């Protein structure tokens, strides 16, 4: 090699170094490659190249460059420092690719020192955990199915809303016919009373008919056209049970194919009318309803076949069957017609008063006054009668559903000359209704009612059921001369049944029970049992849309793993806002303008001045460019962006998978600051004073959200070493950042945008839980976290603790945490937040647990945690339930010694009792005695080959 060549190679390498320092790694790579070509026998250009490739997250190329440089360096002692840098980089590149065994080879070549020691500990943990839980998919499935995503509520059963409030809107538009996919897949989250699905059926058939043959329709015998898959999700099994019964009624009407005499004979439309809207119904209609409930029970239990259009996965059936059987007897016994009718009358008055109060409040802020709803044409008299009696008349002359004396009462009330005669007619009607009518059992959710505080015994059925007619009129569905509410509803369900009959042979309705994020995640990763036949997004997107009738059945049996559209209603108000929407829903929507997720804010729209304000509260990001770089989403512009309470409008978000090039992503520094800010926002929500405010902003997410976020960011293209570095710093107990715990609510745009000096922020109170969760999630993450303070899998145990008392105050909010601490005299009214924020307060004495479940009947908490925390914390430590909104204590304090060990979380001795405590079980133990629990833990650790400990440690 000539001196001129060597100098040229060196000069090019120096140019590469300048680009590297400027973080222009792509340019640096080109220069280093050129330098290596000019001096093929020198290791320096290849070593520099490996460093630049590492920064670009091209870890495989980094590995190759490291090995090439090492080959050139040879074994000469003067190159030892250069070799050690390459060994270190090689090990970290392989950890980033999760090549554990290969990383171990590189670590073994490193010189003795702290770095090698740390990497050896990471390596040993990885190998040990892989031996304990070799099936990462099975572990992921268990985490998805078992681990909660939110902090628990003390009142553990969510509320049941039997009547929806949305304007019926279709999730279908004709542009979906042009996707090139043979099947249109729609998901309805929070399906409720299914009004949007019903409207969607009408829209599809209307579009096909009005197209004049341009849209090819798959006939029952032959032809080509689109297939449809609807996934229905509701957290309430009662909502799904009710919808299934209504589907049976619609299916029967459709099967009569216009034979209205048979429809009238079997009272199918009156049954739909009362089941859908009324709290009580005539006895003859009740009998029709009960027959369909019995049929659905038999179908779900397997003694009868479900209709071909319907799929109810086995994992959800027990919950639905239990509700249906309650409706067969218990619901009527606990809520007889007299009680239901009274709840309707009182609830309607209360709802009207609240509506006026809210109207005045919103009017003061946005202009306007009290809110009123117009009475639908033809309904004025029966609306007054219903509000006075709780009995809903049926005005159609086709049916004779009432005793003559009740009809006389209704007519007498209509013709009454004054309040006294109206009152007398109403009293007579009430007496007859109480004695001869029956409860609409589908409006009763005994799970919810039995879970309510004793001071709230009423069943909430105070909705303005006549407003449904106004909604239909707004949707251009109204009879020409309505005689009452029934005429509107009859027209609606007649049309829906007709559309259903047209589509049901090419339609699959999949009914799922559960939290929407749980179902979305199960769909995405294919862990729902019936989804083994799920289509993959990459293949489904390119499938031919043409399908013969002979293959339609097969195609309908294939479940989508990606959707054209997902309707989330206002669920984001309760599940972490758009952060949850973007993490769970967006990734399983097809890319492109015709596909989207859509949601609205109904819980607290006055709190948000704009959509950006809403996003900022839940994500701590608001700029469209940032949302695109992190979540690959873009929002469709609102029709009127200056409209007051803009969040009341349905927003539409499109999914746009983008380039994984670093220049198209958020910078490393900005990503780090954002993740630190989001962590502080979720771990330490701002202290709220009015926790019973109707417009309270929920902060429900527990810390498991960050592992889902790490998975998402890696899929988007963010480098593994960025993500692992950020998370390892959080795990260290201290982050150095310009981010701060939130001070405003909703989090103001100004607070996020105001530059702050870099300082240290403590994360110590959360490290015990975070390190536990990190060990559980590490096998699923596509990269290795080089943290040295993680427990082994078998050192994570399940625990339960029973509390002597738990307050029911504001207990239906997902805000509760467990707090282990050693601070004396923390009264129930003391805010704990300042202790968690301030490192000077020695907050290492606090351990916060956000991921846990609560049994209301036994006042028992169940959680998992690394076992060394409780070994070290047994003496002088307390555990209690605290709030994370006003940060006060909700329960009695218990000694940590009362905590029961239920065995290892994974890979250990099976636990016969998964955590419910019997009354008084804790009082029988001596907290200072090791007892059988500690002996059990000691023996279990020995059997699992745990780290060496002395008995005294237990």
- Segment 244-273 mean pLDDT: 95
Which of 401-405, 544-548, 551-555, 628-632 shows the lowest mean pLDDT across its residues?
544-548
- Segment 897-910 mean pLDDT: 82
State the pLDDT at residue 824: 78
Burial class (CB within 10 angstroms; exposed 0-12, middle 13-18, buried 19+) of 661: exposed
Take residue 873 and report the two structure tokens written for it: 């914390």
**Greater pLDDT, 593 or 694:** 593
Partnered with residue 798 across adjacent β-strands are 864
Q: Are 484 and 393 in contact (CB under 8 A)?
A: yes
Burial class (CB within 10 angstroms; exposed 0-12, middle 13-18, buried 19+) of 663: exposed
Q: In sequence order, what are the residues at sequence separation of 6 or more whose Cβ sits closer than 8 angstroms to the Cβ of residue 860? A: 800, 801, 802, 803, 854, 915, 916, 917
Strands 796-802 vs 437-439: parallel, antiparallel or unpaired? unpaired
- Collapsing DSSP to helix, strand or coil, 513 comes out as strand
State the pLDDT at residue 335: 96
**Greater pLDDT, 531 or 797:** 797
What is the C-alpha to C-alpha distance for residues 41 and 124, in angstroms, rounded to an integer?
A: 37
Q: Is residue 944's pLDDT more than 60?
A: no
Take residue 640 and report the two structure tokens written for it: 């009127």
Model confidence at 295, in pLDDT bands (50, 70, 90)? very high
Per-residue H/E/C for 721-765: HHHHHHHHHHHCCEEEECCCCCCCCCCCHHHHHCCCCCEEEECHH
Q: For residue 549, how many other CB atoms are within 10 A of its CB?
A: 16
State the pLDDT at residue 924: 41
Take residue 181 and report the two structure tokens written for it: 């996919």
Mean pLDDT, rounded, of the chain: 88
What is the C-alpha to C-alpha distance for residues 922 and 864, in angstroms, rounded to an integer?
A: 19
Q: Is residue 402's pLDDT more than 60?
A: yes
Measured N-to-C along each axis, helices 44-55 and 25-38 cross at an angle, to the nearest 10 degrees, of 160
**Per-residue b/e over 200-239, b at no fewer than 16 CB within 10 Å?**
bbbbbbebbeeeeeebebbeeeeeebbbbbbbbbbbbbbb
State the pLDDT at residue 933: 47
Please give the C-alpha separations between residue 318 and each of 322, 546, 596, in angstroms, as whole numbers.
Answer: 6, 38, 32
**Greater pLDDT, 209 or 554:** 209
Q: Is residue 845's pLDDT more than 90?
A: no
- Residue-wise pLDDT for 439-475, tens only, equals 999 999 999 998 887 666 678 887 899 999 999 999 9
State the pLDDT at residue 919: 43
- Segment 2-19 mean pLDDT: 81
- pLDDT > 70 in the chain, percent: 86
State the pLDDT at residue 455: 60
State the pLDDT at residue 554: 52
Model confidence at 875, in pLDDT bands (50, 70, 90)? confident
Say what the pTM is: 0.91
What is the C-alpha to C-alpha distance for residues 868 and 64, in angstroms, rounded to an integer?
A: 41
- Residue-wise pLDDT for 78-92, tens only, equals 999 999 999 999 999
What is the C-alpha to C-alpha distance for residues 731 and 740, in angstroms, rounded to an integer?
A: 17
Measured N-to-C along each axis, helices 268-277 and 485-503 cross at an angle, to the nearest 10 degrees, of 110
Dihedral sign for Cα atoms in the order 287, 288, 291, 292: negative
Per-residue H/E/C for 551-585: HHHHHHCCCCCCECEEECCCCHHHHCHHHHHHHHH
Model confidence at 932, in pLDDT bands (50, 70, 90)? very low
- Residue-wise pLDDT for 696-726, tens only, equals 999 999 999 999 999 999 999 999 999 999 9
Phi then psi for residue 80, to 5 deg, are -60, -45
State the pLDDT at residue 803: 99
Q: Is residue 1's pLDDT more than 90?
A: no
What is the C-alpha to C-alpha distance for residues 403 and 288, in angstroms, rounded to an integer?
A: 18
Q: Looking at the chain, how many residues does it have?
A: 954
Take residue 571 and report the two structure tokens written for it: 């669920």
Q: Are 207 and 178 in contact (CB under 8 A)?
A: no
Partnered with residue 819 across adjacent β-strands are 848, 880
State the pLDDT at residue 202: 97
State the pLDDT at residue 646: 78
Q: Is residue 8's pLDDT more than 70?
A: yes
State the pLDDT at residue 863: 98
CB-side neighbour CA atoms (13 Å) of 933: 23
Place of tokens 């998975």: 711
Q: Are 892 and 947 in contact (CB under 8 A)?
A: no
Q: Is residue 892's pLDDT more than 80?
A: yes
What is the C-alpha to C-alpha distance for residues 515 and 517, in angstroms, rounded to an integer?
A: 6
What is the C-alpha to C-alpha distance for residues 659 and 655, in angstroms, rounded to an integer?
A: 13
Cis peptide before 840 (omega within 30 of 0): no
**Of 34, 14, 29, which is closest to residue 61 (Cα–Cα)?**
29
- Residue-wise pLDDT for 118-170, tens only, equals 999 999 999 999 999 999 999 999 999 999 999 999 999 999 999 888 899 99
State the pLDDT at residue 953: 37
- Collapsing DSSP to helix, strand or coil, 780 comes out as coil
Please give the C-alpha separations between residue 642 and each of 158, 435, 463, in angstroms, as whole numbers.
Answer: 34, 54, 30
**Of 289, 282, 328, which is closest to residue 436 (Cα–Cα)?**
282
- Segment 645-650 mean pLDDT: 84
Q: In sequence order, what are the residues at sequence separation of 6 or more whose Cβ sits closer than 8 angstroms to the Cβ of residue 131? A: none
- Segment 523-547 mean pLDDT: 52
- Segment 414-423 mean pLDDT: 77
State the pLDDT at residue 788: 96
- Residue-wise pLDDT for 167-180, tens only, equals 999 999 999 999 99
**Greater pLDDT, 29 or 941:** 29
Model confidence at 557, in pLDDT bands (50, 70, 90)? low
Model confidence at 369, in pLDDT bands (50, 70, 90)? low
Which of 96-105, 520-529, 683-692, 942-951 shows the lowest mean pLDDT across its residues?
942-951
Take residue 170 and report the two structure tokens written for it: 């279709």
State the pLDDT at residue 857: 93
Taken in order of first residue, the domains within the chain and their CATH numbers are: 3-111 (1.25.40.10), 171-232+518-658 (3.40.50), 682-954 (no CATH)
Rg of the chain's alpha carbons, rounded to an integer?
32
- pLDDT > 90 in the chain, percent: 73
State the pLDDT at residue 89: 98
- Segment 883-892 mean pLDDT: 97
Burial class (CB within 10 angstroms; exposed 0-12, middle 13-18, buried 19+) of 509: buried
Query: For the CA atoms of 305, 310, 316, 322, what is the dihedral angle to 10 degrees?
Result: -60
State the pLDDT at residue 927: 38
Which of 132-136, 192-196, 522-526, 912-916 shows the lowest mean pLDDT across its residues?
912-916
């Amino acid at each position: 090699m000539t001196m001129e060549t060597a100098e040229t190679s060196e000069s090019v390498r120096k140019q590469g170094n300048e680009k590297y320092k400027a973080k222009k790694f792509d340019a640096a790579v080109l220069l280093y490659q050129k330098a290596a070509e000019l001096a093929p026998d020198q290791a320096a250009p290849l070593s520099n190249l490996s460093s630049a490739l590492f920064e670009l997250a091209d870890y495989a190329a980094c590995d190759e460059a490291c090995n090439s440089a090492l080959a050139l360096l040879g074994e000469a002692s003067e190159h030892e420092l250069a070799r050690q840098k390459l060994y270190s980089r090689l090990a970290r590149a392989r950890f980033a690719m999760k090549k554990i065994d290969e990383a171990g080879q590189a670590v073994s070549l490193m010189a003795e020192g702290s770095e090698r020691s740390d990497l050896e500990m990471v390596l040993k943990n990885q190998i040990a955990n892989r031996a304990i839980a070799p099936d990462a998919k099975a572990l992921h499935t268990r985490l998805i199915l078992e681990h909660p995503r939110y902090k628990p509520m003390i009142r553990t059963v969510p509320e049941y809303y039997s009547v929806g409030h949305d304007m019926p809107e279709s999730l279908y538009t004709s542009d979906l016919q042009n996707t090139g996919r043979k099947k249109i897949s729609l998901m309805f989250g929070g399906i409720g009373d299914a009004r949007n699905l019903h409207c969607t059926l009408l829209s599809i058939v209307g579009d096909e008919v009005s197209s004049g043959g341009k849209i090819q329709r798959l006939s029952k015998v032959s032809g080509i056209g689109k297939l449809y898959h609807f996934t229905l999700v509701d957290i309430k099994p009662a909502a799904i049970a009710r919808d299934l019964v209504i589907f049976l009624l619609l299916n029967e009407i459709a099967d009569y194919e216009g034979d209205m005499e048979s429809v009238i004979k079997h009272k199918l439309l009156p049954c739909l009318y009362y089941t859908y809207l009324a709290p009580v119904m005539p006895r003859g209609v009740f009998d029709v309803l009960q027959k369909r409930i019995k049929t659905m029970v038999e179908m779900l239990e397997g003694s009868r076949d479900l209709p071909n259009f319907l799929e109810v996965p086995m994992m959800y059936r027990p919950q639905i069957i239990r509700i249906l059987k309650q409706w067969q007897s218990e619901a009527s016994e606990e809520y007889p017609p007299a009680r239901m009718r009274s709840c309707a009358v009182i609830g309607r008055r209360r709802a009207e008063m609240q509506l006026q109060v809210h109207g005045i409040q919103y009017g003061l802020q946005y202009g306007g006054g009290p809110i009123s709803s117009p009475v639908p044409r033809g309904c004025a008299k029966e609306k007054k009668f219903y509000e006075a009696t709780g009995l809903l008349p049926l005005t159609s002359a086709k049916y004779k559903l009432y005793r003559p004396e009740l009809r006389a009462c209704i007519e007498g009330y209509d013709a009454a000359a004054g309040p006294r005669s109206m009152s007398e007619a109403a009293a007579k009607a009430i007496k007859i209704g109480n004695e001869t009518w029956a409860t609409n059992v589908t409006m009763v959710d005994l799970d919810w009612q039995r879970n309510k505080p004793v001071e709230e015994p009423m069943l909430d059925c105070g909705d303005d059921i006549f407003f449904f007619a106004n909604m239909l009129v707004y949707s251009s569905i109204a009879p020409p001369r309505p005689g009452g509410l029934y005429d509107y509803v009859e027209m609606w369900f007649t049309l829906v049944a007709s559309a259903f009959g047209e589509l049901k042979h090419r339609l699959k309705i999949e009914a799922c029970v559960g939290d929407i994020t749980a179902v979305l995640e199960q769909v995405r990763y294919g862990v729902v049992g019936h989804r083994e036949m799920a289509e993959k997004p990459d293949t489904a997107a390119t499938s031919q849309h043409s399908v013969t009738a002979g293959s339609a059945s097969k195609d309908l049996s294939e479940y989508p793993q990606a959707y054209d559209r997902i309707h989330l209603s206002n669920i984001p108000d309760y599940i972490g806002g758009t952060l949850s929407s973007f993490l769970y829903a967006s990734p399983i929507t097809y890319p492109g303008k015709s596909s989207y997720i859509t949601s609205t804010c109904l819980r607290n729209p006055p709190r948000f001045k704009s959509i950006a304000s809403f996003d900022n509260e839940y994500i701590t990001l608001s700029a469209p460019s940032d949302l695109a770089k992190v979540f690959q989403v873009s929002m469709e512009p609102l029709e009127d962006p200056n409209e007051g309470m803009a969040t009341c409008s349905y927003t539409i978000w499109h999914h746009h998978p983008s380039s994984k090039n670093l220049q198209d992503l958020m910078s490393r520094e900005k990503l780090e600051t954002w993740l630190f800010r989001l962590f502080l926002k979720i771990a330490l929500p701002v202290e709220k004073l009015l926790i019973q405010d109707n417009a309270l902003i929920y902060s429900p997410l527990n810390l498991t959200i960050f592992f889902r976020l790490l998975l998402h960011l890696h899929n988007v293209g963010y480098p593994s070493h960025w993500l692992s570095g950020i998370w390892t710093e959080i795990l260290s107990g201290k982050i150095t950042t310009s981010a701060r715990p939130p001070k405003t609510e909703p989090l103001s745009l100004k607070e996020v945008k105001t530059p702050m000096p870099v300082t240290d922020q403590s994360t110590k109170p959360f490290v015990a839980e975070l390190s536990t969760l990190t060990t559980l999630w590490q096998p699923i993450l596509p990269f290795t976290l080089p943290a040295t303070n993680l427990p082994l899998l078998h050192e994570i145990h399940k625990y339960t603790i029973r509390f002597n008392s738990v307050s029911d105050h504001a207990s239906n909010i997902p805000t509760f945490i467990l707090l282990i601490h050693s601070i004396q005299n923390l009264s129930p009214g003391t805010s704990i937040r300042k202790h968690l924020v301030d490192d000077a307060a020695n907050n290492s004495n606090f351990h916060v647990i956000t991921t846990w479940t609560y049994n209301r009947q036994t006042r028992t908490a169940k959680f998992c945690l690394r076992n060394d925390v409780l070994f070290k914390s047994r003496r002088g430590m307390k555990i209690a339930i605290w709030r994370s909104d006003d940060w006060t204590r909700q329960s009695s304090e218990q000694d940590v010694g009362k905590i029961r060990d239920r065995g290892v979380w994974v890979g250990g001795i099976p636990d016969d009792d998964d955590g419910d405590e019997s009354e008084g079980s804790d009082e029988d133990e001596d907290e200072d005695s090791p007892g059988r629990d500690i002996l059990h833990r000691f023996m279990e650790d020995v059997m699992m080959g745990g780290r060496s400990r002395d008995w005294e440690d237990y």
